[in-house]
Amino acid sequence: MKTVLGHADRAALLPRLGVNGWDYESDPTAITKTFRFSNFREAFAWMTQAAFWAEKMDHHPEWSNVYGEVTVRLTTHSAGGVTELDVDLAQRLDAI
């Protein structure tokens, strides 16, 4: 669960894991995605649903919001990189 994912197939790995629109950062110890909404209210409503998932999974995003845009960064600090926990949360966020 807490094993850092390999980076060999970076471009193909994430879609194969079932998450869309996520990409590794340049470092690549984290994955990021920007979610876009038509206004602040919709963006924050989405964040609220995401927050409940994060709390339930006890795995929390690093995220920022500017009006209708939410940029999410996922990493597993204790493992020093991207693990299945991040992929699981990414899938939940994609499904909201």
Q: Which of 10, 18, 41, 57 binds a second copy (CB under 8 A)?
A: 41
The dihedrals phi and psi of 34, each to the nearest 5 degrees, come to -105, 120
CB of 33 to a second copy, least distance (A): 15
Q: Cα separations (Å) of 95 from 14, 62, 87?
A: 15, 18, 12
Q: Which of 4, 17, 28, 44 binds a second copy (CB under 8 A)?
A: 44
Residue type, 73: R
Note whether 64 binds a second copy by CB under 8 A.
yes
Bond preceding residue 15 cis, omega within 30 of 0: no
Dist CA 36 CA 56 (whole Å): 24
Give me the half-sphere count of Cα atoms (radius 13 Å) on the Cβ side of residue 88. 13
CB of 77 to a second copy, least distance (A): 9
Question: Between residues 9 and 42, which has the closer beta carbon with respect to a second copy?
Answer: 42
Q: Which of 65, 79, 84, 91 binds a second copy (CB under 8 A)?
A: 65
Binding site for a second copy (CB under 8 A): 40-41, 44, 47-48, 51, 54-55, 60-67
